[in-house]
Amino acid sequence: MKKTLIIFSMLLMVLVSQAQSQMKITKDPDNSTGLFGIIQASYIKNYKASYRQIEPGSDNTTNLDTKNSNTYSLNMIVGYFILPKRLSLGMGFGLDGYHNPNANTAPLYGDLRFYLTSGRNIPYLYIDYGYLVKLGVDFHKGQVGRIGLGYKFFVSKKLCMTADVSFAAKSVSYTNDAVRPRDALNIKGIGFTLGFLLF
């Protein structure tokens, strides 16, 4: 976990360094070059949830009812176009609230986006992967992954938004282990996200 935080911190320093040099250059009107920031809200309908408990000599998995299971999420992503108008790499942090089953998580993750065209309003594919940070007693460690298809579009000359649909998976640890916990909640769902580009 410490190694991951160090890698993410180094990535953030590189992005800030690039941002400082980018400030001297006129910002691309399509928001497809240089540094960018997105704040986004998500709703995830969970379709599969299971509780897994590993003890000496046994490995028990219990499937949970997901009829009323969902997740609300608020995230911030800061990224940089490593290939202008085509490929961006970023870092995200968020807060998630799971309902039925109940859990709170704080994902810290890498964000990779590939833009399918180079126009102003464009579709993109993205992959997120990272870890869940334990911010306090109400938060759990674990892992998070997400893959999705989105669309970046302008609603006015300067106001740019994103919308996407994704497959989301999380492993929430109850034993304070981020990787391979002995006691974990595994959740899969379909996410719907709306975002605003801040810069």
Q: Residues 130-179: pLDDT tens digits?
A: 999 998 888 989 999 999 999 999 999 889 999 999 999 999 988 877 77
* Start-to-end Cα distance in the chain: 30
For position 15, what pLDDT does the model report? 57
pTM: 0.82
Residue that has been written with the tokens 């916990």 in this structure: 181
What are the Cα distances from residue 85, in Å, to 1, 131, 184? Answer: 32, 28, 40
The pLDDT value recorded for residue 185 is 92
Q: How far apart are CA 124 and CA 51, in angstroms?
A: 33
Q: How many CA atoms lie within 13 A of 158 on its CB side?
A: 3
* 23: confidence class by pLDDT, cuts 50, 70, 90: very low
Q: What is the pLDDT of residues 99-119, one digit of tens each?
A: 999 999 999 999 999 999 988
Calpha distance 113→83 (Å, rounded)? 10
pLDDT value at residue 86 = 94
38 or 18, greater pLDDT? 38
Domains, the chain, ordered by start: 2-197 (2.40.160.20)
pLDDT at 13: 58
